[in-house]
Amino acid sequence: MKYILLTIILALAGLRGYAKASDSIRTHDLISSTVASIETSVTAASGSFAPLWLTSNRYGLASVEPSSNYERAALGRDIHLDDAQRWGVGYAVDVAVALSHTRRFVLNQAYVEGRYRKLGITLGAKQQPMETKNLELTSGGLSLGANARAIPQARLDIDWFGIPGTHGWWQWKLYGSYGITTDGRWQASWAGAGERYTRHVLYHEKALYWRFGRTDVLPLTYEFGLQMASQFGGTTYNGRGRGYNTPTTFHHPTGLRAFWNALTCQGSDQTDGLQPNTAGNTLGSYIMELRYHGTRWQASAYFERFFEDQSMLTVQYGIRDMLIGAAATLPNNRIVTKAALEFVTTTNQSGAVYHDRSPNIHDKMNGRDDYYNHNLYAGWQHYGLTLGNPLLTSPLYNEALGRSHTLRFYNNRVKAWHIAFAGDPSVEWHWRALLTLTRNWGTYSQPLPDCLRQTYALAEATYKPRWTQGWQATLGIGLDHGKLLGNSVGGQLTVTKRINLKN
């Protein structure tokens, strides 16, 4: 509740300042362009969990439980309505009451944001889109995805800006943010006796992207970027760092030096001893995309290379773990409008051998990266769902792996093929279909007894009747089949009503 009150106060302050700063849009116009929505959703499935694609890449709102529902209400304004103006403002309060969920009361979003020309500031919890990927079709980002609840942050953005002297052929954008995770109380209540959990963990995220090309001259652009994120500060309970045989509580630094270390990827943790690593849990990705901007159809090829700490920040160990994909938007037809194909592999992780440099061993190997895990922090997750790609099995599914109520990733060595289609048969109907075939090896330190295969599928249709205003209904049918998470067939019905606040 305190986050909602803070957001409303900031939003009102932003509206007042915005009304004075812009002569073309007044406070009345801001209110009239606000959209309210109410939503209800119910899920029912036959297995131990709801099918994966009925839960994943929905910003943590859907539950992994086989039967669940939520009631949702939101009020907000899209900042992109002001793209033609020098100034822009956006805000949202988005809440839900849920059953069979990690929390009864779910705060999806609560933020206020402002923009002047290319410079933007966001305060609060906002669901950010993935770079280069279509949320409706992709399997998800490897480092920063759309699978978990948004983390409240203070974020500074600089949008695409031309490098002087390049006449628009070379552009860049960047952002950086600091925030705090909100799942500490949930971790304490969910983790099993003696299991590790954390509270009041701080969060940092940053990215720099370059784009080459001018679509007014040639309909082809190339984008390259580096995005990084880290968990730091906070307190680890029941932690077993290196050299500690009994559960211990660790209070991590939260001063200015800790913020600087998160920004610059420096420092070390108190359990590192004579073999220091970067402070906190740091990871990231290299992002690349080649895009064709056609008048009748568009296409893109994209690539993401994931790394943990510094071991794969360079190509010292080769390029073996990645997400590589292709997507296309097709000319108008009544069958398929968009399509995507992705291949994901995370099995190498810098190799199976690990050791740091020591007086007896002068070479440093840095293998066995153990993606999404950390020896002090409760993994790359928020409320039990991974902040990255959901094909690396989130802690909420650990019961299927015989690891109930443990905040670790026990299946992060995965290979997968993912194919997706979407279409618009008419102005009233929209559909999408996903099919993912995976092979799973567990982790290097705790491999699965055998390579387990698992299939995830989804067929979903959305109906927006013309004889109503603002109503839509979405019905999804999901299917999981295999020996990793088991078999499950389920359905999900979501009904939404949107209201434009116009006089």
Domain boundaries in the chain?
2-497
Q: Which tops the pLDDT comparison, 317 or 322?
A: 322
pLDDT at 317 over 90: no
Identify whether the C-beta of residue 188 lies closer than 8 Å to the C-beta of residue 234.
Answer: no
387: exposed, middle or buried (C-beta count within 10 Å: 0-12, 13-18, 19+)? buried
pLDDT at 417 over 60: yes
In this predicted structure, what is the pLDDT of residue 141? 96
- pLDDT band for 193, please (50, 70, 90 cuts): confident
492/455 Cα distance (integer angstroms): 19
**Order of strands, edge to edge, in the sheet holding 197-199?**
197-199, 235-239, 248-251
In this predicted structure, what is the pLDDT of residue 268? 72
DSSP 8-state assignment for residue 399: G
**What is this structure's pTM?**
0.90
pLDDT at 399 over 50: yes
**pLDDT digit string, tens, across residues 323-347:** 999 999 999 888 999 999 999 999 9
> Average pLDDT for residues 208-221, to the nearest whole number?
96
Rounded (to 5) percent helix, strand, coil in the chain: 10, 45, 45
- Residue 486: beta bridge partners? none
pLDDT at 273 over 80: no
Q: At the topology level of CATH, where does 2-497 sit?
A: Porin (2.40.160)
Alpha helices in 39-164 (DSSP H): 52-55
pLDDT at 274 over 90: no
How far from 140 is each of 23, 45, 147, 242, 436, CA to CA, in Å?
A: 41, 23, 8, 32, 12
Identify whether the C-beta of residue 127 lies closer than 8 Å to the C-beta of residue 109.
Answer: yes
The mean predicted confidence, pLDDT, of the chain is 89
In this predicted structure, what is the pLDDT of residue 1? 40
AA identity, residue 202: L
Run of H or E including 5: helix 2-21
pLDDT at 28 over 70: no
- pLDDT band for 248, please (50, 70, 90 cuts): confident
